[in-house]
Amino acid sequence: MLGWLIRRVLQAALLVLATTVIVFIGLHFVGNPIDILVSPQADSVERLRLTKALGLDLPLWRQYLRFLDGVAAGDFGISFVYGQPALRLILERMPATFELAGAAMVIAVGFGIPLGLYAGLRPESPASRLVMGASLFGFSLPAFWVGLMLIFCFAVRLGWLPSSGRGATVSILGVRWSFLTLDGLRHLILPALNLALFEISLVIRLTRAGVREVLPQTFVLFAHAKGLSDTRVIFVHVLKNILIPVITVVGMEFGSLIAFAVVTESVFAWPGMGKLIIDSINLLDRPVIVAYLACMVVIFILINLIVDILYMVLDPRVRK
Amino acid sequence: MRNRSLTALLFGAILTIQPLSAYAEDLVMAVKAGADTADPQYSSLSPTISEMRNIYETLIAGDAKQNPTPALAESWKAVNDTTWEFHLRHGVKWHNGQDFSAKDVKFSLDRVPQAAGPASYLMYTRDIQKVEIVDDYTIRITTPHPAANLPSSIGRIFIVNADVVGKLKGAELNDPAKAIGTGPYKFVSWTANDKMELTRFDDYWGGKAPWKNVTIREIPNDSARMSALLAGDVDFVNQVQPADVGMLEKRKGIKVFSGPSAFNFLLFTDMRKTSPKVTDKAGKPLDTNPFLKPEVRQAISESIDRQLLVDRLMDGQGSVATQAVPEGIIGYNPSIPKPVYDPAHAKELLAKAGYPDGFGVELTCTSDRLPNDGRICEGLGQFLTRIGIAVKVNAIPRSVFFSKRAAGDFSLFMHGWGTVTGETSQVLEPLLHTNDRAAGAGSWNVYGYSNPKMDADVDGANQQIDPAKRKAMLEDAMKLVVSDRAMIPLVNINTITAARSDKISDFTPRLDEDTLPWFIKPAK
């Protein structure tokens, strides 16, 4: 177990390193940040000063070594645009994104599992067909468009919910959370729903497929034969078995929720990492882009690790 | 109607629990881009300046048309060719109750190099040799050579409190106890990429500002910003897209304010011996550059129906440009006539220049920088195709555009430009002056245009202290670049803002596009 863990950590470190190399080289070819950052009135003297100040006068490999040197000391460099440590800028925004992704996950599981269960138990009923049909829309509609439609309906036309921003927040241990205030919660509903749409559909389909697969199996027949009630069979024996694939996929999806929050965040002006990264890409703010992608890789790896461990806890067959 | 009352009945409960934060005296604005930092001397880019003006002040401010108006300096004059004297305003209080005086000005001017971010204020302080405090309310600045731009240059620098700021810089000033200015609003909080919160400074020398609390939210996505206005989350938005104006004007409860801005679109032709993106019609590179022929440049200018660009592609939110700056900027030459639109004549001109069948060229523009840039680019492509030039339209993100532009990769390109300082030298010197690394002039002019007469005008104007003579020189320089067709003026862009009419009665759009709360008049 320990050896497995060490191997995973080493793999992760290599992956992060590879990512930074690719991003570093890629960004170098996109363009020169000086041309975007410098004031339009700047002359050549000013451009030269900036090039030196940002360390862009060095050859790329030396820039990269300097970057690695900093990373070893926990410093991902200073944002070109904001003049603040890139990692701090990202960490400051991380809670907002995690909150959004977390809320989306809760919605996805809260709606997805019951609906999927229903559709699996009564596959022929019109309601099930409706659910399955609707889930197709959830898969195929672009999040960007759905977001605008949600704003249009619930914020502009009906005026029930605010259209953008995070609302009032409560600070716990120095981190601001908005789901703890009524105003914050109202701000959270639309973006979280928008982000959850795809995941709801995914969970519905997974659960339904799981139920259809598990129902005909002999242990279910045996449970019925033992005289257990229908509810007990479904909610204890069937549910336990279908939960394994659902948790695996949902866990993996949590990573993409965080990464895909970019679109939702920009439509709803949610002050998370996604909004920051979009602006940073437009301004070629290299340190922030590199630090963001490195963070993303670490998050993905951590999630995979947690999913693997959960899998072992839930499924005794894997532990052997 | 029935639907509405039903809605109201059913969801009255939800509405009643809405927070009562939207007091009539408070203003919530949404802007496309916000400040980069809490340090007022870090960035000289418009979005940062516009937010900082609430808290900090400069020696000289500008009115809506960019005419200089006294701010922290009550008056200023040239004592001789190389010495300027500024008389400071009496009775100005810092937000912490201290009195403003000459030592703060000297400290602030000296601090510029330490505070400098990527888009620094260093260009504005380069002409300063020495800053002397004559007395508490007089400051004298010496320059190594006559510098006519000095007042307008240092007039742009924010003055900070010498005692409070000391050695602090950048993010260290993101603190209500440290962000002490003299402006109409006091700093409450700021989060990069999210929002700035301000509260009124009641002892402001210019009188109390109309709004008690101001929140400036940053919403870069255009649709999201408009939705926030329509949903009532914000009271005022800037950078309204021209295509949205019609819809907003029809809506009850929304007011649109549109007016000329300092931004325009200019078309540049490569003037070097050979040009990278010109080909013959078959796509083979040409060894001569057709743009060197004045007839070709004239033909391009005459092939474009600018009024059509304004009416159709900009939804009427702009005007035909006659020169490199819009009207109102110092050095705008009123004698320059409107450009001619005559595609038949343009064809003749091409034939006269030796290109009866035209040639091929790539037209490069930004696609994400200014309103409608990509659309106008496509429109230009069609106009040029009509006179026989085979145009490949290439609208690219600004992050790619500016690097390639600086590297000299283009043959024909459209550049959006904003003369936010209110003086034509800001467009003539970097874009059209002969590229001269030693003198620092023509830093953007890597495409070979050079006219010694126009250089002499611009250089002369920089040293001419007499405003009337200076204006005449700049107007002459403008005439030269227009008749040379060193750039082909296209269209001026309007600045468009919108507000909720139940809270806001009026706003005058400014040339520099700043949205300052004390220019936003509350309703009633």
User: Residue B486 falls within a domain, yes or no?
Assistant: yes
Distance of CA A2 to the CA centre of its chain: 28
Distance of CA A289 to the CA centre of its chain: 16
> Looking up tokens 């907003």, which residue turns up?
B248
Q: By the 8 A CB rule, do B121 and B149 touch?
A: no
In the prediction, which pLDDT does B245 show?
Answer: 93
In the prediction, which pLDDT does B23 show?
Answer: 64
Q: By the 8 A CB rule, do B404 and B410 touch?
A: yes
In the prediction, which pLDDT does B11 show?
Answer: 44
Position B481 pLDDT exceeds 90: yes
* Chain B contact present for A232, CB below 8 A: no
Side-chain-facing half-sphere of B456: CA atoms under 13 Å: 5
| In chain A, alpha helices (H) | 2-30, 33-37, 44-53, 60-72, 86-121, 126-140, 143-150, 182-214, 218-225, 230-232, 239-267, 273-282, 286-314, 316-319
Q: By the 8 A CB rule, do B41 and B35 touch?
A: no
How many domains are contained in chain B?
A: 1
B262-311 residue pLDDT tens: 999 999 999 999 999 999 888 888 889 999 999 999 999 999 999 999 99
User: Between residues B411 and A177, which one has the greater pLDDT?
Assistant: B411
Query: What are B520's two structure tokens?
Result: 């936003």
Distance of alpha carbon A178 from alpha carbon A103, whole angstroms: 11
Nearest residue on chain B to A184, judged by CA atoms? B19
What domains lie within chain A, and their CATH numbers?
A: 93-278 (1.10.3720.10)
CATH assignment of the domain containing B333: 3.10.105.10
Tens-digit pLDDT string for chain A (320 aa): 678 888 888 888 888 889 889 988 888 888 788 888 887 777 777 888 888 888 888 888 888 888 888 888 888 888 888 888 899 888 888 888 999 999 999 999 999 999 998 888 888 888 888 888 888 888 888 888 888 888 888 888 888 888 888 877 777 776 777 777 788 888 898 999 999 988 899 999 999 988 888 888 888 888 888 888 888 888 877 888 888 888 888 888 888 888 878 888 888 888 888 888 888 888 888 899 999 988 888 888 888 888 888 777 777 776 65
User: Residue B462 falls within a domain, yes or no?
Assistant: yes
Closest CA–CA distance from residue B440 to any residue of chain A (Å): 5
User: Between residues A3 and B480, which one has the greater pLDDT?
Assistant: B480
Return the exposure string of B262-277: e unless at least 16 CB atoms fall within 10 Å of the residue's CB, then b. Answer: bbbbbbbbbbeeebeb
Q: B224, A269: Cβ pair inside 8 Å? A: yes
Nearest CA to B411 out of B219, B270, B249, B298 is that of B270
Which of A29, A30, A46, A149 is the best residue to mutate to test the B interface, defined by the most B CB atoms within 10 Å of its own CB? Answer: A46
Distance of alpha carbon B513 from alpha carbon B262, whole angstroms: 8
In the prediction, which pLDDT does B467 show?
Answer: 86
User: Residue B459 falls within a domain, yes or no?
Assistant: yes
B97-129 residue pLDDT tens: 999 999 999 999 999 999 888 888 888 888 899
Angle at A104 between CA A102 and CA A109, to 5 degrees: 95
B352-399 residue pLDDT tens: 999 999 999 999 999 988 889 999 999 999 999 999 999 999 999 888
Q: By the 8 A CB rule, do B159 and B57 touch?
A: yes
Residue from the list A162, A164, A284 with its beta carbon closest to the beta carbon of B219: A164
Query: What are B17's two structure tokens?
Result: 């629990």
What ipTM describes this predicted complex? 0.82
User: Residue B342 falls within a domain, yes or no?
Assistant: yes
Q: By the 8 A CB rule, do B493 and B314 touch?
A: yes
* Chain B contact present for A35, CB below 8 A: yes
User: Residue B65 falls within a domain, yes or no?
Assistant: no
Predicted confidence band at B14 (pLDDT cuts at 50, 70, 90)? very low
Q: By the 8 A CB rule, do B298 and B439 touch?
A: no
Nearest residue on chain A to B122, judged by CA atoms? A46
Nearest CA to B84 out of B13, B156, B31, B146 is that of B146
Q: Which amino acid is at B159?
A: I
Instruction: Using only the alpha carbons of chain A, give its radius of gyration.
Output: 24
Distance of alpha carbon A285 from alpha carbon A121, whole angstroms: 52
Q: What percent of chain B has pLDDT over 70?
A: 96
**B288: domain range?**
261-494
Position B5 pLDDT exceeds 70: no
- DSSP lists the bridge partners of residue B61 as B69
Q: A82, B36: Cβ pair inside 8 Å? A: yes
Distances (CA, A) of A186 to A111, A182, A274, A317, B19: 19, 6, 21, 43, 10
In the prediction, which pLDDT does A320 show?
Answer: 58
User: Between residues A171 and B44, which one has the greater pLDDT?
Assistant: B44
> Looking up tokens 């920089």, which residue turns up?
B462
B459: left (phi over 0), alpha (psi -120 to 50) or beta: alpha
> Which residues, at least 6 apart from A171, have a Cβ–Cβ distance to it below 8 Å?
A177
Position B330 pLDDT exceeds 80: yes
Q: B19, A168: Cβ pair inside 8 Å? A: yes
Mean pLDDT of B468-484: 94
